[in-house]
Chains A and B, each alone.
Chain A
Amino acid sequence: MNPERELSLADAFVELADTLVDEFDVIDFLQQLSVRCAQLLDVSAAAVLLAPDGEPLRPVAPFDPGSALAELLDAAADAGPALDCHLGGAPPDAPGAPGDPDAPDVTRVDLLGQGPDRWGEFVPLARRAGYTWASALPMRLRGERLGCLLLLRTDPAPPSSTDVRLGQALADAATIGLVHEQTLRAHRATGAQLRGALHSRIVIEQAKGILAARLGMGVDEAFAVLRRHARSNSRRLTEVARQVIDEGLVPAA
């Protein structure tokens, strides 16, 4: 591992453990996790799927997946390695999933070696988007299942076990951060918090659509405008999205 990556990794862990800030926002936090994984691990895409207690799995981060990945993540919530991993860890019969003694819960799948019907739309959509390997890493703490982290690769070689373990460590740090944040606040059940995150995600999607129509651009570009405005004004993304919806804010494109 090169020294620069080591430093970035250390930063990422500190960031993911730091949920004690005043303005902690779950959805920004999970966005950060997906962005960090995509940057630090040798993967093409990283996504977080969440399931509040008893609810179906749903993609929450990144906010800006692009249309092919967005469609794939929707399918992944219905069937695929992410759902399998969330429900019960790696199925023993997954072809192309070499057992990793250090990460027995990770579902690692060779997408090119799968029958197209195995997981509904997941495999065909993943292949169409150019992905070759998918790894699903559980976000769990003491039996509580929060969801999972899905890593996607376009390289023919499988993800290295170092990357898978690092990914799992980042997912664990994020899970601990989330659970820690919950215990610090009275009256905030896990379900309430994760549900809040899902609603925040919907608010952001609604604001993307509104901005796209107002500025005559695509939803991905509209999201870039939204994010830029949030960053340059040091505001939370959900706050800015609310302003777009409730107050008719239209940031400069």
Chain B
Amino acid sequence: MVAREHGELAELLAALEAGGKGPDAAWTVRCAQILDMDGMCVSTQADSGELLWFSDELSTRLDDLQFTLGEGPSYEAGEHGSMSLTADLRTSSARRWTAFAPGAEELGVRSVFAFPLRLGAISVGALTGYRREPRPLADESVDAALSLCDALTLHLLSTLSPPARSARSARSARPGPYENESTHNRPSGLHRAVVHQASGMLSVELGVNLATALDRLRAYAFSHNRPIVAVSRDVVARRLQLTADCSGPGPCPGPGHSESGNR
């Protein structure tokens, strides 16, 4: 990837950071250009099937087709959490989508590339792009797409609930010679092992899925003005119990939110 594209990728990533303006139609158009695709869209997990952002009409029709048929690369990416890269829909492996492959070709699409939006086992949705010509995606485009997917996932998860402000984020590492500033923006604490351990514990204790459990953690941290990492440590050490009904901002009342033994 040339320097100019690196700069553009950094701009796209910056829009996804906490306080950034978030994706919109123009964002998806530039995203498709950088990824060397003819069009792309971002959709949530297949069963709720919501198309969030798209660069062009054909992307929406491709998404509609998958939603109608209940099969296709975006489904695969969302369900299995793995990339689904199809350089040519006419190859035999693409024919596993018995209805989608010919349907997409009828729309004028020859390559489809779907990337999961995920955080460990939490699946949020997929980023899907297409080409009219059958051609494999270059490694640099794959890397760029994965960077965008990580940032999109955090953006989507953080827009579900008020952002948890991590005290650690203020003290980010000093920038290295080859990194741009955005790579050191760590607003969420979501790269910490203990946060994922706490989500797992909470999901069992509250009887909710991992995404909801993470959401509860963030909501609690936000409303108590504490770093999510500190709250997670308390949960894992069983110093703190959360109840299922604590969501929005403001203090979480009720006996379930005992905070005995906090540092």
Footprint of B on A, CB under 8 Å?
52-59, 70, 74, 77-79, 83, 86-88, 120, 187, 189-192, 195, 198-199, 201-203, 205-214, 219, 241-242, 245-246
Name B143-165 residues within 8 Å CB distance of A: 143, 146-147, 150
**8 extra interface residue pairs, beta carbon distance < 8 Å, beyond A79-B174, A206-B121, A219-B201:** A54-B147, A79-B171, A87-B177, A187-B85, A187-B142, A192-B83, A199-B120, A206-B210
Residues of B within 8 A of A54 (CB): 147, 179-180, 183
Tell me, in angstroms, the Cα distance from A81 to B178 when the chains sit together. Answer: 18
Instruction: Give the residue name and chain of the B residue nearest to A198 (CB).
Output: B191
Min CB gap B79→A, angstroms: 10
Residues of A within 8 A of B197 (CB): 205-206, 208-209, 212, 219
Main secondary structure, interface of B, reads helix
Tell me, in angstroms, the Cα distance from A52 to B183 when the chains sit together. Answer: 11
A74-B146 contact given A54-B183, A212-B200, CB 8 Å threshold: no
Q: Is the CB of B204 within 8 A of A210?
A: yes
Verify if B244 is at the interface (C-beta below 8 Å from A). Answer: no
Tell me, in angstroms, the Cα distance from A191 to B143 when the chains sit together. Answer: 5
Q: Is the CB of B83 within 8 A of A195?
A: no
Q: Is the CB of B143 within 8 A of A209?
A: no
Tell me, in angstroms, the Cα distance from A55 to B205 when the chains sit together. Answer: 33
Footprint of A on B, CB under 8 Å?
81, 83, 85, 118-122, 136-137, 139-140, 142-143, 146-147, 150, 168, 171-174, 176-177, 179-180, 183-184, 186, 191-194, 196-205, 210, 229, 236
Min CB gap B208→A, angstroms: 12
Q: Is the CB of B120 within 8 A of A206?
A: yes
Tell me, in angstroms, the Cα distance from A189 to B174 when the chains sit together. Answer: 27
Partner of B173, one of A78, A187, A214: A78
Among A59, A74, A213, A245, the most chain B Cβ lie within 10 Å of the Cβ of A213
Q: Is the CB of A201 within 8 A of B176?
A: no
Residues of A within 8 A of B180 (CB): 54
Residues of A within 8 A of B229 (CB): 74
Residues of B within 8 A of A207 (CB): 121, 200
Q: Is the CB of A195 within 8 A of B146?
A: yes
Residues of A within 8 A of B201 (CB): 209-210, 212-213, 219
Tell me, in angstroms, the Cα distance from A5 to B231 when the chains sit together. Answer: 43
Residues of A within 8 A of B186 (CB): 56
Min CB gap B153→A, angstroms: 10
A245-B121 contact given A190-B143, A214-B204, CB 8 Å threshold: yes
Tell me, in angstroms, the Cα distance from A208 to B235 when the chains sit together. Answer: 13
Q: Is the CB of A191 within 8 A of B147?
A: yes
Q: Is the CB of A203 within 8 A of B173?
A: no
Partner of A192, one of B119, B121, B122, B146: B146
Tell me, in angstroms, the Cα distance from A196 to B44 when the chains sit together. Answer: 20
A202-B142 contact given A58-B191, A120-B171, A192-B83, CB 8 Å threshold: no
Tell me, in angstroms, the Cα distance from A206 to B120 when the chains sit together. Answer: 8
Residues of A within 8 A of B122 (CB): 206
A213-B147 contact given A54-B183, A74-B192, A187-B142, CB 8 Å threshold: no
Partner of A210, one of B142, B184, B200: B200
Residues of B within 8 A of A202 (CB): 119-121, 193, 196
Partner of B143, one of A53, A74, A87, A242: A53
Q: Is the CB of A206 within 8 A of B146?
A: no
Q: Is the CB of B184 within 8 A of A56?
A: yes
Tell me, in angstroms, the Cα distance from A187 to B204 when the chains sit together. Answer: 37
Among A77, A190, A203, the most chain B Cβ lie within 10 Å of the Cβ of A203
Tell me, in angstroms, the Cα distance from A58 to B159 when the chains sit together. Answer: 24
Tell me, in angstroms, the Cα distance from A181 to B40 when the chains sit together. Answer: 30
Q: Is the CB of B172 within 8 A of A78?
A: yes
26 residue pairs bridging A and B, Cβ less than 8 Å apart: A56-B183, A70-B194, A77-B191, A78-B171, A83-B173, A88-B176, A120-B171, A187-B85, A187-B137, A187-B139, A190-B139, A191-B142, A191-B147, A195-B146, A205-B194, A206-B122, A206-B197, A206-B210, A209-B236, A210-B203, A211-B200, A212-B197, A214-B204, A219-B236, A245-B200, A246-B121
Instruction: Give the residue name and chain of the A residue nearest to B168 (CB).
Output: A78
Residues of A within 8 A of B150 (CB): 55, 195
Residues of B within 8 A of A77 (CB): 173, 191
Min CB gap A53→B, angstroms: 6
Residues of A within 8 A of B193 (CB): 59, 70, 74, 201-202, 205
Q: Is the CB of B183 within 8 A of A213?
A: no
